[in-house]
């Protein structure tokens, strides 16, 4: 039973599903019974990999489960052509990018002649769209494929333009200027999906302090302007610098910056290069502190990044260990403390003796945090400044908390005309898909989604109360992302996509046009071949106007318009949105923002589910690391159903997980065992095939256990705890059936067929192809549309559950004892104690434990041998809650009777040839190894020989 087995039955059942239209979903009369499940549509710039698989399979498992619970489930799928990702790949192929071409050829097995056709971005997108659809179908995703579309669909583009007109009229889309991440080659703002590695540029502002020089100024970029009083030097990199002239707002300044920074700052300021200057020339100069008037040295610093800030660093060695190292290497021995902080030494910069970058960074960060939140500006700074400045420093800065004084230091520098502000990408360097490094640019007359608008932001934060998050702890990530959300530039000058309706030169970026697109799924199949207008969309999506008027002016059949409106009203809102957790920083907040703006609170998604990443070899998948694992390859190598289980259950849903082929193979082996066992059950024949009752202990235990397993599986599926539920239905149930065969002396075919029926339905959401194959052997219809099993299908025999739980607890204790003494038993002697008074004490102990009482309370309330009672309490305390509950009900049961009638089961499970059972209270019982007296009720004494 190799991968070919799994894939051959998958192909068989996928064809049947498609022929029968099993997953087509249409509105019913009961709207309360619908579930609308969505996943982000993929960019069609490369084939699907196993990372896609985790999100899509998890959503599909949930969709299949809900369908079996009786819900009318819509699970659609579409394809993202918009933006720069596709264009960038086509450009790279056209330019002969050998690494990309080789990866397409060797990793994805794309013919070279087909790769050459991909110089045309539309042919590239269409090729991968086709491949992705094939892969999604091979995965067995229960998609309604009638509703599929791509983002170049004319009706979809009209839908996006309709949305943007609504946003503009509502004041959510504004025109203005702002700083953005910007590609200097493509000449447009960029977001996460425009960059290599899908990294969202994070922009921070930095304070710039100008130190005076003889011919030009020395601008130092800093995040701690308050430490300028303690500045004793300026560090530069051993690279080329340039003197520039800034001419902005009628102000002229000449200053020096690194050559690398000059190019970046030119996108923020109007700069003109005057001349280049070497680091050797710079270190011969001196600069003057703008507040203290002290001359400071210019020194080379090996820790200066010439691409960050201005390329110049203000050295404050008293408060930064890295500054201390650079100052000493440059011949500066002075350190002037200007901040006093509890729990930090007077000169924190001397507090660590390491040059390890990570350790140094951690220590510096701890100093910065402590000084900012707990630090106070020292009074000695008053005497450091000129006489005319002292009163202001005394009144507003000295003696004040750093968190408060920082603003006044900035104000003081502004008064002296020695302050400015620049912007930097804090998580850089980041590269555009074209290869250029992203810079920060101030752009004018750009259209922005006003995600920073206080009213809209506040409404969005409050709306999170209406959404269920899975897992719940991710809500705080949404709160943080929305709270920090800035306005977003929506226009791009190049790329595939929808043009702004009022500005045909601007293309809406791929994240801005994918916010409420899930609404389009609801009527996309009906809209095909028709021409939607704003009036039609107003009616379909907002209920504005009348279908009759739309028919008169737009040539759309009134029945189709009404049908589209009915579809939208029935399916919307989204019931469960599934996504990778990386989209918390952009798409998912945008999704909430825009739904709120266009539709209001009633159309917000009911639930958002996040999953972690799939890593290969312990690392995030990357073309440069050559560890991309195509999903189609994984299916071919391991089989569909093993891949479905491996990708969706190898860790808790939010956790990252490593793709390990050995684990996938082990999953496949276990599925083979499950298939074989269920198949054998379905083939069972016997005289008691029509037996109605469960008479034996084994039958009663299995019937009761199935009730428990069904309840647990139901709960785990509903909470999307796939790791636990797959462990239950693929591993535990298999072991349960083995226990059943060892517990009973004969099998009950009727009961086992009931178990097989329930078991197949329990595994169906996870491994639907295998489930269909097994179901078809003995039952009618398709497994995928059968009801999920219920507890009521099996009778409950709680006493049988207690007896087997007791036996299994004893078996576990014996195995633990074998491990402790490093000896496998050949013969086992068991002493039981059925003393009635002690059994009453068992109940008392259970009551005490359940009430949260301790040993002292128990000993105070129960009379008897204190040592014996303490041992009893300790042992009962070790039992799990379920067993203690059963024990409280059946404490009067005879252990001797339970063990005697099930001794064969014990012998089989423990693999021993002889088990002797004695009553510890019988004076005739032998006392072997002195263990007789240590027996307590439901805690037998054990001797291993």
Rounded Cα distance, 566 and 11, in Å: 35
Most distant CA pair in the chain, distance: 111
* H or E element at residue 444: strand 439-449
Give which of 824, 937, 784 is closest to 14, Cα–Cα. 784
Cis omega (within 30 of 0) for bond into 471:
yes
* Complete DSSP assignment for 358-426: HHHHHHHHHHHHHHHHH-EE-TTHHHHS-HHHHHHHHHHTTTSBHHHHHHHHHHHHHHTT-EEEEEEET
Cα–chain center distance at 750: 44
Q: Residue 267 is encoded by which pair of tokens?
A: 């996108």
Q: Other C-beta atoms within 10 Å of 393: how many?
A: 23
Q: Which residue has the tokens 């204190």?
A: 866
Give the pair of three-digit tokens for residue 309.
Answer: 């800030």
By C-alpha distance, which of 561, 564, 563 is closest to 549?
A: 561
Report phi then psi at 499, rounded to 5.
-85, 145
- Residues ≥6 apart with Cβ < 8 Å to 453: 171, 172, 487
Please report where in the chains the tokens 């001419």 appear, as a residue: 247
**What distance lies between CA 176 and its chain's CA centroid?**
34
Residue 924, classed as helix, strand or coil, is coil
Whole-angstrom CA distances from 477 to 55, 200, 581, 652 are 19, 16, 10, 18
C-alpha distance across the termini of the chain, in Å: 42
Task: Evaluate whether 23 touches 75 at the Cβ level (below 8 Å).
Answer: yes
- Evaluate whether 440 touches 261 at the Cβ level (below 8 Å): no
**DSSP-derived secondary structure letter, 938:** T
Angle at which helix 866-878 crosses helix 836-850, to 10 degrees, equals: 50
> Under a CB-based contact definition with an 8 Å cutoff, are residues 33 and 70 in contact?
yes
CB of 749 closer than 8 Å to CB of 690:
no
Contact between 595 and 545 (Cβ < 8 Å)? no
Two tokens at 294? 């002290």
CA atoms within 13 A on the CB side of 755: 32
d(CA 178, CA 442): 5
User: The sheet that has 657-659: what strands, in order across it?
Assistant: 619-620, 614-616, 657-659
419 and 253 in contact (C-beta within 8 Å)?
A: no
Query: CA-to-CA distance for 423 and 261, rounded, in angstroms?
Result: 11
Identify which of 364, 437, 447, 377 has the alpha carbon closest to the alpha carbon of residue 412.
377
CA distance 683 to 761: 18
Which residue in 76, 79, 17, 23 sits closest to 48, CA to CA? 79
Strand partners, 243: 256, 275
Is there a binding annotation on residue 623?
yes
Residue labelled with tokens 């997953």: 23
Task: Name the strands in the sheet holding 218-222, side by side, starting at the edge strand that comes first in the sequence.
Answer: 218-222, 203-211, 419-425
Tokens of 912: 């021993």
Q: How far is CA 534 from CA 280, 434, 554, 563, 653, in A?
A: 66, 36, 10, 17, 40
Annotated binding site for ATP: 623
Annotated binding site: 623
């Amino acid at each position: 039973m190799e991968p070919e087995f799994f894939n051959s039955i998958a192909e068989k059942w996928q064809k049947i599903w498609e022929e029968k239209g099993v997953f087509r979903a249409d509105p019913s009369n009961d709207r309360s019974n619908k579930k609308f499940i969505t996943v982000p549509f993929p960019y069609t710039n490369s084939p699907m990999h196993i990372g896609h698989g985790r999100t899509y399979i998890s959503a599909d498992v949930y969709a299949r489960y809900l369908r079996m619970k009786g819900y009318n489930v819509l699970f659609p799928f579409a394809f993202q052509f918009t933006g720069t990702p596709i264009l960038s790949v086509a450009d790279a192929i056209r330019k002969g990018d050998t690494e990309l071409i080789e990866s397409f050829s060797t990793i994805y097995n794309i013919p070279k002649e087909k790769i050459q056709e991909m110089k045309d971005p539309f042919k590239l997108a269409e090729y991968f769209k086709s491949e992705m659809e094939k892969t999604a179908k091979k995965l067995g995703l229960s998609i309604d494929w009638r509703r599929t579309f791509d983002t170049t669909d004319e009706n979809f583009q009209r839908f996006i333009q309709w949305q943007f007109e609504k946003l503009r009229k509502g004041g959510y889309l504004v025109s203005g200027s702002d700083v953005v991440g910007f590609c200097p080659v493509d000449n447009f703002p960029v977001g996460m999906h425009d960059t290599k590695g899908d990294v969202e540029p994070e922009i921070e502002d930095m304070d710039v302090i100008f130190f005076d020089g003889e011919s030009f100024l020395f601008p130092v970029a800093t995040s701690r302007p308050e430490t300028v009083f303690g500045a004793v030097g300026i560090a530069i990199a051993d690279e080329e610098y340039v003197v520039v002239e800034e001419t902005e707002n009628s102000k002229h300044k000449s200053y020096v910056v690194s050559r690398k920074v000059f190019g970046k700052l030119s996108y923020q300021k109007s700069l003109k290069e005057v001349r280049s200057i070497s680091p050797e020339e710079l270190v011969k100069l001196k600069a003057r502190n703008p507040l203290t008037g002290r001359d400071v040295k210019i020194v080379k610093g090996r820790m200066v990044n010439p691409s960050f800030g201005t390329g110049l660093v203000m050295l404050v060695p008293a408060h930064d260990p890295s500054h201390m190292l650079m100052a000493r290497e440059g011949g500066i021995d002075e350190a002037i403390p200007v901040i006093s902080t509890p729990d930090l030494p007077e000169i924190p910069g001397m507090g660590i003796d390491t040059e390890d970058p990570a350790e140094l960074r951690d220590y510096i960060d701890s100093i910065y945090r402590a000084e900012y939140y707990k630090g106070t500006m020292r009074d000695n700074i008053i005497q450091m400044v000129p006489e005319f400045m002292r009163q202001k420093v005394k009144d507003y800065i000295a003696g004040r908390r750093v968190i408060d004084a920082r603003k006044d230091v900035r104000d003081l520098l502004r008064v002296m005309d020695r302050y400015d502000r620049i912007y930097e990408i804090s998580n850089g360097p980041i590269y555009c898909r074209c290869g250029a490094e992203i810079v920060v640019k101030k752009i004018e007359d750009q259209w922005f989604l006003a995600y920073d608008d206080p009213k809209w932001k506040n409404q969005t934060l409050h709306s999170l109360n209406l959404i269920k998050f899975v897992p719940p702890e991710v809500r705080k990530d949404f709160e943080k992302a929305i709270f920090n959300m800035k306005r977003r530039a929506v226009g791009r000058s190049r790329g595939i996509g929808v043009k702004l309706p009022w500005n045909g030169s601007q293309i809406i970026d791929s994240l801005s046009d994918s916010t409420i697109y899930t609404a389009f799924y609801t009527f996309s199949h009906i809209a095909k071949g028709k021409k939607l207008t704003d009036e039609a969309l107003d009616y379909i999506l907002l209920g504005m106007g009348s279908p009759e008027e739309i028919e008169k002016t737009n040539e759309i059949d009134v029945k189709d318009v009404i049908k589209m409106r009915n579809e939208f009203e029935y399916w919307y809102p989204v019931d469960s949105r599934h996504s990778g957790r990386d989209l918390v920083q952009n798409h998912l907040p945008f999704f909430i923002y825009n739904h709120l703006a266009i539709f209001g609170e009633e159309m917000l998604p009911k639930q958002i589910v996040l999953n972690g990443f799939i890593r290969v070899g312990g690392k995030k998948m990357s073309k440069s690391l050559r560890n991309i694992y195509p999903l189609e390859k994984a299916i071919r190598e391991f089989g569909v159903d093993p891949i479905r289980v491996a990708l969706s259950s190898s860790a808790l849903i939010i956790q990252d997980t490593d793709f390990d082929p050995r684990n996938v193979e082990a999953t496949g082996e276990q599925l083979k065992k499950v298939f074989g066992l269920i198949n054998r059950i379905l083939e069972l024949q016997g005289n008691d095939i029509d037996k109605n009752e469960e008479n034996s202990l084994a039958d009663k235990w299995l019937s009761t256990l199935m009730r428990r397993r069904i309840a647990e599986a139901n709960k785990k599926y509903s909470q999307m705890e796939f790791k636990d539920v797959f462990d239950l239905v693929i591993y535990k149930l298999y072991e349960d059936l083995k226990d059943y065969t060892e517990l009973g002396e004969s099998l009950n075919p009727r009961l086992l067929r009931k178990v097989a029926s329930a078991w197949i339905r329990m595994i169906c959401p996870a491994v639907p192809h295998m489930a269909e194959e097994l179901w078809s052997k003995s039952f009618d219809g398709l497994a995928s549309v059968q009801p999920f099993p219920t507890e009521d299908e099996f009778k409950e025999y709680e006493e049988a559950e207690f007896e087997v739980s007791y036996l299994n607890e004893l078996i576990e204790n014996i195995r633990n004892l074998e491990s402790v003494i490093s000896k496998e038993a050949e013969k086992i002697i068991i002493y039981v104690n059925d003393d009635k008074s002690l059994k009453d004490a068992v109940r008392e102990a259970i009551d005490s434990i359940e009430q949260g009482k301790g040993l002292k309370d128990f000993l105070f309330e129960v009379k008897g041998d204190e040592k014996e009672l303490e041992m009893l309490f300790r042992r009962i305390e070790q039992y799990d809650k379920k067993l203690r509950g059963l024990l409280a009900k059946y404490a009067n049961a005879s252990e001797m009777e339970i063990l005697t009638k099930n001794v064969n089961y014990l012998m089989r499970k423990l693999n021993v040839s002889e088990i002797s059972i004695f009553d510890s209270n019988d004076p005739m019982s032998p006392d072997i190894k002195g263990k007789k007296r240590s027996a307590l009720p439901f805690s037998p004494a054990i001797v291993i020989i």
